[in-house]
Amino acid sequence: MIPKDFLFAFGLTLFAGLSTGIGSIMAFMSKKFNPKFLAGALGFSAGVMIYVSFVEIFFKAKISLMESYGDKIGYIYTVLAFFGGIAIIAIIDKLVPSYENPHELTHVKTELEKDELKNKKLMRMGLFSALAIGIHNFPEGLATFMGALQDPTMGVSIAIAVAIHNIPEGIAVSVPIYYATKNRKKAFVHSFLSGLSEPVGAIIGYFLLINIFSDALFGVIFAGVAGIMVYISLDELLPTAEEFGEHHIGIYGLIAGMAVMAISLLLFA
């Protein structure tokens, strides 16, 4: 029989991960979408990713690596892992077939071609966001699960905080995919699947990584994830927000995303 504490911890992790679906549903509550909403939502998601990467994820990674290797060497490893994450997602970006160059959209002859190119760019951006969020949620799921096993009260706090983080991440995945495909179901499924990496991370971590998992490994993974999320925000989310809407709407969305993330971190600190 599966222990109750295991089921409780897994249930919390599943709740936290699948809250990306809540973000997707919230994004679709408006029956009529418009470019301003898209710009604001993408800016908001970029704000969430950038703030949580620099304020929470990078900081936790640095602490873990400094405890393992000392202050100076640990900090160096954190920085290297951060830029390593950026390098990884940049390489993936180059390897994924690109049918358009966003800097050359003004040279396209017809409006139909422009729409097709923008849709491909949005779909690609949504999938990259899902990838980054999935990688982020994987170790986050392990952290939630192990925290709940050690202390149920702490596990609840972690799960609620992670769930709040994941709601806007669901928007980051579902909105661009919806705009690219006009298919709400497909957008929701991709958003939902990106959140599933959290309970998957918990299970894999518990059964396969528990004997080798360390503060150093945790730090390297989290620093790399921070780099990935910053790259996605600066290379995909913000440029597309400005392209599809007014410049200031994207910036206001970015500031709002940072504010929401900051408040959630203060509430569950």
Query: What does the mean pLDDT of the chain come to?
Result: 78
pLDDT of residue 71: 95
pLDDT of residue 90: 85
- Report which of 64, 195, 194, 201 is spatially closest to residue 142, judged by C-alpha positions: 201
pLDDT category of residue 108 using cuts at 50, 70 and 90: very low
The answer, yes or no, to whether residue 110 has pLDDT greater than 50, is no
For 134-152, the pLDDT digits (tens) are 776 776 777 778 777 767 8
pLDDT of residue 99: 42
pLDDT of residue 136: 64
Of 5 and 108, the one with more pLDDT: 5
For 20, 37, 133, 190, 247, the CA distances from 185, given in Å and listed in that order, are 14, 19, 19, 9, 29
Element spanning 114, H or E: helix 111-150
Structure tokens at 63: 């602490």
The answer, yes or no, to whether residue 129 has pLDDT greater than 60, is yes
Q: Three-state SS for 245?
A: coil
Contacts of 97 (CB under 8 A, 6+ apart): none
pLDDT category of residue 100 using cuts at 50, 70 and 90: very low
Contacts of 83 (CB under 8 A, 6+ apart): 227
- What whole-number distance in Å separates Cα of residue 22 and Cα of residue 5? 26
- What whole-number distance in Å separates Cα of residue 109 and Cα of residue 126? 26
Give this prediction's pTM. Answer: 0.64
